[in-house]
Amino acid sequence: MNQFPQALLSKLKGRIQVNALRKLPVSNNLIDFTSNDYLGFAHSELIFDKTHDYLLGEKIKINGATGSRLISGNHNLYPITEDFIAHFHQSESALIFNSGYDANVGFFSSVAQRNDIILYDELCHASIRDGIQLSNAKSYKFNHNDFEDLEKLIQKFHSEEIEIYIVTESVFSMDGDCPNLEELTQLSEKHNCNLVIDEAHSLGVFGNQGQGLVQELKLQNKVFARIMTFGKGLGCHGAAIIGSQDLKAYLVNFARSFIYTTGLSPHSVATILVAYNQLENDKTQIDTLRENIIHFNQEKQILGLKPMFVRSKSAIQSAIIPGNQNVKNIAKQIQAKGFDVKAILSPTVPEGQERLRICLHSYNSKKEISEVLRLLSTFVF
């Protein structure tokens, strides 16, 4: 067997030297403050049972062949589910992808053309950045949630001959904060730009039925495309790009991560449909999650922890604790008390911005929330 390349070994050693080597986590029985399963759908027996009942019923016949959706993989659960998603999100169409990563890579690599401009928030997810890198368009980042900086870029590149795409997230995955979407849509309309919003961490959290922040603010008709990822609030595989019928047709023809991959299995698509039905018909988990977010923010204020946290009204709460070793030590101490919290290290976040990332869920009790914050205050003060 050939020796492992020295350049790759050097990169691994570099991660070890700065105490930032990633390792796969081990399953544990700790109280969950880490996963993105905000509503508990991933371990819901109700959704599990309803999915199997749906598949075993005689409502539809399912072609179980695998393959690209353009060949043999487009079983008849797909149009049923995509139509439901489009209606739920008050949009003309929805197109399901295998993951949020596939959706972002497929969208950004294909939609913007050679002479177009992509302006993206500097803290956008890696999947967005990777898709942009594959695009023929030119791209520029703007300062996080800074729309004055964004407008300067728009004015610099504005031309009737090119399209400008503005890209942001409704809830940022590391900080849990939200941009001012009302202001952003006004800016986009003012300069005739195409607004694209990734709602991965907003689905199931914002909106009367968990539709996301865009619909909570009634801005759905002002957005060119929304990316809905199901592996967070819906607790299942897949994602969808929400937009016009023309956008769907374009992606089916030009998004390589859609064209050249095996479609999701009938079971996966049925799980998406059942999860969406649950959002539409039962607000219990959504309401409980919101109560927990309010309780968390109240408790961190009482304990004097508010200054160290990024301002967030979402299910993601981040306490900035600089230094890889420092934040890892605090995480380990809290884990030793039975709570699963994770340290986010540089280079995943910028050096000096290392943090303890706490995710809230509908199944966390208020007692658990109070205790995890009490432990944090004990170890940092």
Residue 66 included in any domain: no
Which of these three, 246, 281, 316, is where a domain ends?
281
pLDDT tens track for 212-243:
999 999 999 999 999 999 999 999 999 999 99
pLDDT in tens, 82-131: 999 999 999 999 999 999 999 999 999 999 999 999 999 999 999 999 99
Say if 340 falls within a structural domain.
yes
Same domain, 209 and 270: yes
Among residues 235, 218, 209, 233, which one has the least CA distance to residue 287?
209
Selected residue with higher pLDDT from 151 and 63? 151
Write the CATH number for 289: 3.90.1150.10
pLDDT of res. 186: 98
Number of domains in the chain: 2
Per-residue pLDDT tens for 335-355?
999 999 999 999 889 999 999
Residue 210 sits in the same domain as residue 106: yes
Q: What is the mean pLDDT of the chain?
A: 95
180 & 255 share domain: yes
Closest-CA residue to 194 (of 203, 202, 185):
185
Amino acid 58: pLDDT: 52
Please give the Cα distance from 371 to 335 (Å, whole number).
12
What CATH number is associated with residue 275? 3.40.640.10
Give domain status of residue 326, yes or no: yes
Question: Residue 149's domain spans which residues?
Answer: 76-281
pLDDT computed for residue 60 by the predictor: 61
Q: Is residue 85 part of a domain?
A: yes
